[in-house]
Amino acid sequence: MITLRKSTQRGHADHGWLNTYHTFSFAQYYDPKNMGYGPLRVINDDVVAPAKGFGTHGHNDMEILTWVLDGQLEHKDSMGNHGVINPGELQRMSAGTGVRHSEFNASQTEPVHLLQIWIEPEREGITPSYEQTAFPAEGRDGKLQLLAARNPNGSGAVTIHQDASLQVADLRKGQSVSHKLNTGRRAWVHVAYGDVEVNGEKLGAGDAMALENESAISLSGLSEKSAQVLVFDLV
């Protein structure tokens, strides 16, 4: 079964310093039919104005992934981590028993565009931890690149505390990839930017697709300009 979630169906808020789209219910956006998908709880598509950001706040019992699409995001947390996340770098923060952090646009002149993703962990009370990893662009050019998994198995992906994985692909016209879905698995596909075809459906920036009881995901680029698509394989 395939269900489309178009970009225009997402929640939206423009706070001036933050222009954000919510794939699932978040903050003041509430849709009881879109509270998440399996353990995938949040995909926020954020553009933060120069020198602005999220002040220090707390989280617990959540796997938080941050993927920067354009610009630079400065991170600081109560575990002592402090640095900048650049495009092509994935940050993983396991909030577990509790973490406080802040996120600010590191530029005084340019906006930062990012996806913040929350995945519910398989158990509560995990010791908080942090990873930040750079992924070479050639590793996703016309192919799927593993960014996060419960068992990365030496792939270089970050570790998440849930039976789930996140892959990304950059696809231009003429480039296609596929991902097999094992029995009992479901998937969520999110287009970060550009135009792609997913299992026969055309999707653009911000569009998404839920797949359940499907055997595979087939993705193809549709234009000369590269598109980027995220694939979540979920329990």
pLDDT score for 138: 98
Q: What is the pLDDT of residues 70-116, one digit of tens each?
A: 999 999 999 999 999 999 999 999 999 999 999 999 999 999 999 99
Which among 214, 161, 222, 168 is positioned nearest to 187, based on CA atoms? 214
pLDDT score for 18: 98
> 52: which 2 tokens?
């602005």
Q: Residues 114-123: what's their mean pLDDT?
A: 98
Size of the chain, expressed as the number of residues it contains: 235
Query: Taking the CB of residue 122, how many other CB atoms lie within 10 A of it?
Result: 15
By the 10 Å C-beta count (0-12 exposed, 13-18 middle, 19+ buried), 108 is classed as: exposed
pTM: 0.97
> 19: which 2 tokens?
């222009």
Question: CA-CA distances (angstroms) from residue 224 to 63, 102, 171, 201?
Answer: 35, 37, 9, 18
By the 10 Å C-beta count (0-12 exposed, 13-18 middle, 19+ buried), 233 is classed as: buried
CA distance 53 to 73: 9
Which among 87, 161, 101, 152 is positioned nearest to 126, based on CA atoms? 161
64 three-state secondary structure? strand
Edge to edge, what strands does the sheet with 129-134 contain? 11-14, 18-22, 40-48, 112-119, 63-70, 89-94, 129-134
pLDDT-derived band of residue 19, with 50, 70 and 90 as boundaries? very high
pLDDT-derived band of residue 234, with 50, 70 and 90 as boundaries? very high
CA distance 106 to 16: 17
